[in-house]
């Protein structure tokens, strides 16, 4: 998947998990920077993601790309099976990182991405982002739930154009706070 789409996914996930659940954020046809500022303003009360040790998993539930039919069936099936297994992750979120999530956000890839809509309120997120780069258009959606201690998201990315830009992918990601950071980790 291309850098702008991956960066957008990371930005949305971090933003989704950091907002105060009883304050909503709503934006239409907004830049990534505008949405980041709105989420930061809603979370200024200090009600960000809870610092501590986080564990999560991500798995690709659907993947298609140009000319995949030219791959031998066994290779294509093996590749998709490997991606479907998922990937686990674990990391420490420091109190400083929890207070200001914008420091951890991916860049806006030169202003190539715009949120068609971004709705985040009462533990639910619904977002759609369009990125245009090099004559190719990518549309990413995200739907899920979040709190200070967890998030569960479904994302999809669809591209048009030639080559890798035309890749489509669906993925699921979830994470939970599991306690205090491990000794020596920050």
User: What backbone phi and psi angles, to 5 degrees, belong to 21?
Assistant: -65, -25
Residue 122 lies inside a defined structural domain of this protein:
yes
Of 136-145, 149-158, 163-172, which range is least confident?
163-172
Question: Per residue in 102-151, pLDDT tens?
Answer: 555 545 555 588 899 999 888 898 999 998 877 788 899 999 998 889 99
For 145-159, what is the mean pLDDT? 91
Residue 69 lies inside a defined structural domain of this protein:
yes
CB 45 within 8 A of CB 160: no
Max Cα–Cα distance, the chain, nearest Å = 55
Q: What confidence score (pLDDT) does residue 147 get? A: 87
Contacts of 141 (CB under 8 A, 6+ apart): 127, 128, 129, 155, 156
- Check: pTM over 0.85? Answer yes or no: no
For 156-164, what is the mean pLDDT? 78
Q: What confidence score (pLDDT) does residue 19 get? A: 46
Residue 32 lies inside a defined structural domain of this protein:
yes
Of 139 and 32, more confident? 139
% the chain with pLDDT above 70: 73
For 157-169, what is the mean pLDDT? 77
pLDDT at 42 over 90: no
Residue 182 lies inside a defined structural domain of this protein:
no
Q: What confidence score (pLDDT) does residue 185 get? A: 63
For 79-90, what is the mean pLDDT? 84
Directed axis angle between helix 32-42 and helix 3-18, to 10°? 20
Look up the domain containing 106 and give its range. Answer: 3-44+51-176
CA dihedral 38, 117, 48, 109 (to 10 degrees): -80
Number of separate domains in the chain: 1
Residue 134 lies inside a defined structural domain of this protein:
yes
pLDDT at 14 over 70: no
Residue 184 lies inside a defined structural domain of this protein:
no
Question: For residue 175, how many C-alpha atoms fall within 13 Å in the half-sphere facing its CB?
Answer: 26
In whole angstroms, give the CA distance from residue 42 to residue 157.
27
Residue 107 lies inside a defined structural domain of this protein:
yes
Q: What confidence score (pLDDT) does residue 25 get? A: 82
Residue 97 lies inside a defined structural domain of this protein:
yes
HEC profile of the chain: CCHHHHHHHHHHHHHHHHCCCCCCEEEEEEEHHHHHHHHHHHCCCCCCCCCEEEEEEEEEEEEECCCHHHCCHHHHHHHHHHHHHCEEEEEEECHHHHHCHHHHCCCCHHHCEEEEEEEEECCEEEEEEEEEECCEEEEEEEEEEECCCEEEEEEEEEECCCHHHHCEEEEEEEEEEEECCCCCCC
Of 106 and 32, more confident? 32
Q: What confidence score (pLDDT) does residue 122 get? A: 85
CA dihedral 54, 59, 65, 71 (to 10 degrees): 130
Question: Per residue in 51-71, pLDDT tens?
Answer: 899 999 999 888 887 777 777
């Amino acid at each position: 998947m291309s850098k702008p789409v991956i960066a957008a996914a990371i930005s949305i996930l971090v933003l989704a998990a950091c907002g105060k659940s009883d304050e909503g954020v709503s934006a239409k046809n907004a830049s990534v920077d505008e949405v980041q500022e709105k989420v930061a303003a809603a979370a200024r009360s200090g009600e960000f993601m809870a610092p501590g040790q986080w564990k999560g998993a991500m798995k690709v539930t659907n993947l298609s790309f140009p000319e995949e039919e030219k791959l031998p069936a066994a290779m294509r099936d093996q590749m998709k099976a490997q991606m479907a297994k998922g990937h686990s992750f674990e990391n420490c979120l420091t109190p400083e990182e929890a207070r200001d999530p914008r420091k951890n956000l991916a860049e806006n890839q030169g202003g190539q991405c715009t949120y068609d809509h971004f709705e985040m309120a009462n533990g639910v997120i619904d977002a759609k982002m369009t990125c245009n780069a090099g004559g190719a258009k990518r549309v990413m959606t995200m739907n899920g739930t979040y709190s200070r201690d967890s998030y569960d998201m479904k994302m999809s990315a669809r591209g048009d154009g030639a080559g890798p830009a035309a890749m489509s992918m669906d993925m699921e990601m979830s994470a939970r706070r599991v306690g205090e950071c491990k000794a020596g980790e920050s």
